[in-house]
Structure 1
């Protein structure tokens, strides 16, 4: 006669206690190498990034990262928000990336909902339109000011097109990534800042 092993039924309390211990083992700080929204980035990367506001980050590698405060659920939110910033910044579409914003209602609130962060009710574009334009315009203004300072020319003579900053008179040009460190030192406390690229 074969022996049938005895199977002990675990109590719910005992099971949950064990599961909690397993979760802690998996998510202990320092055990994961991946980075993402809300996680501290590498110190070297921080030094090479230009972050003029909560919605734009430009790296020395010339990548423009748009921080979207709205979730992409197939409705095209990421594309729409990135397009607004890219157009105002005059960035090449090929250099643009999108990253979801961390949970931070103070910086990423849905302006149509009050002090709350969230996506819904077809509100993503409506409440982001002017905010994203200003974010892109601010980044563009600080980059052009940095180029003017480096080349010792009037900022009014600097132009931007498809991610390339140029000074036609001297024949000089450079990508966004070449000016990130100097751009971070530019003042934003001046009248009319930022000036939008096109009329609303």
Structure 2
């Protein structure tokens, strides 16, 4: 299978941003505002650099935040504990692993540099942020529907609309969207899920 991974929160832990933004509660408000802004930009048919959105939102929720430090920290976030074992297991099974993020290409490549992906895609190349179908269309595949793995309900919905199979990761106790097609998998631990795919 071709497995397509979202990056922020799905693979990478945002907790190190607490120090830059002034605590967990502020970081959560910041990221929620980043996502809401990105969704509005996408729904209105426009494109805006995701890093610029992140910086603008930081200045709103944490006026004293060091925005350059925020950018540096975003590029070096650690993976969640289940990520490396999951990716190792999936590679051993012969799956092709790619990453697809909303951040600019240089940021995405820096974020996943140590995770060994076969390809890394940025919505920047599509001129449209996820969940626009244009972003998912960047992923090159041989006709078999790829599987999108994400910790965000809007990302799952966008991938489904683009014809992908989906696996929702329940980071921080999140649940899939109600009144919407269910993901094929709902995953609490990526490593456990990866092992479950063994034939």
Q: TM-score, normalised by structure 2?
A: 0.25
Q: Which entry has the higher C-alpha Rg, 1 or 2?
A: 1
Structure with larger RCO (C-alpha < 8 A, sep 6+): 2
Q: TM-score, normalised by structure 1?
A: 0.25
